Structure 1
Amino acid sequence: MDDKLNRSVVVIVAHPDDEILWAGGTILNNPQWDYFIISLCRKNDEDRSSKFYKVLKILNAQGILGNLDDGPEQKPLDAIEVEQYLLDLWPQKHFDLIITHSPQGEYTKHLRHEEVSKAVIMLWNEGKINADALWVFAYEDGEKKYFPRAIKSASYFETLRDDIWIKKYKIITETYGFEENSWEAKTTPKMEAFWVFKDPNSAVAFLNK
Structure 2
Amino acid sequence: MHPETPTVLKKKAAVVVAHPDDETLWAGGTILFHPQWDWTVAGLCRASDPDRAPKFFKVLQALGAQGVLGDLEDGPEQTPLPEAEVEHQVLSLLPAQHYDLIITHHPQGEYTRHRRHEEVSRAVIALWAAGKLEATELWVFAYEDGQRAYYPEAVPQATIYHVLEKEIWQRKYALMTNTYGFREDSWEAATTPLAEAFWCFHHPQEALQWLHTLSASL
TM-score range, shorter chain: over 0.9
SS of the residue 2:72 aligns to? coil
Q: TM-score, normalised by structure 2?
A: 0.94
Q: How does 1:13-24 map to 2 (within 5 A)?
A: 13-24=17-28
Aligned to 1:144: 148
Aligned-residue sequence identity (percent) comes to 57
**Aligned equivalents of 1:46, 1:132: Cα separation in 2:** 36
Say yes or no: does 1:180 pair with 2:172. no
Aligned to 1:123: 127
Say yes or no: does 1:5 pair with 2:9. yes
Q: Deviations over 1:115-138 (max 9, x none)?
A: 000000000000001110000000
* AA in 2 matched with 1:76: P
**Aligned equivalents of 1:119, 1:4: Cα separation in 2:** 31
Say yes or no: does 1:44 pair with 2:48. yes
**Aligned equivalents of 2:145, 2:210: Cα separation in 1:** 19
Aligned to 2:71: 67
Q: How does 1:155-166 map to 2 (within 5 A)?
A: 155-166=159-170
Say yes or no: does 1:79 pair with 2:76. no
SS of the residue 1:67 aligns to? strand
Aligned to 2:172: 168
* AA in 2 matched with 1:142: G
**Aligned equivalents of 2:108, 2:41: Cα separation in 1:** 21
Q: TM-score, normalised by structure 1?
A: 0.98
Gaps of 5+ in 1: none
Root mean square deviation, CA, Å: 0.7
**Aligned equivalents of 1:35, 1:27: Cα separation in 2:** 8
How many pairs align? 209
**Aligned equivalents of 1:141, 1:205: Cα separation in 2:** 24
Say yes or no: does 1:99 pair with 2:84. no
Aligned to 1:109: 113
**Aligned equivalents of 1:205, 1:194: Cα separation in 2:** 17
Q: Deviations over 1:78-113 (max 9, x none)?
A: 111110111111201111000000001000000000
Gaps of 5+ in 2: 214-218
**Aligned equivalents of 1:185, 1:88: Cα separation in 2:** 31
Q: Deviations over 1:31-56 (max 9, x none)?
A: 01100000000000011000000011
Q: CA deviation at 1:4?
A: 4.3
Q: CA deviation at 1:70?
A: 0.4
**Aligned equivalents of 2:155, 2:203: Cα separation in 1:** 21
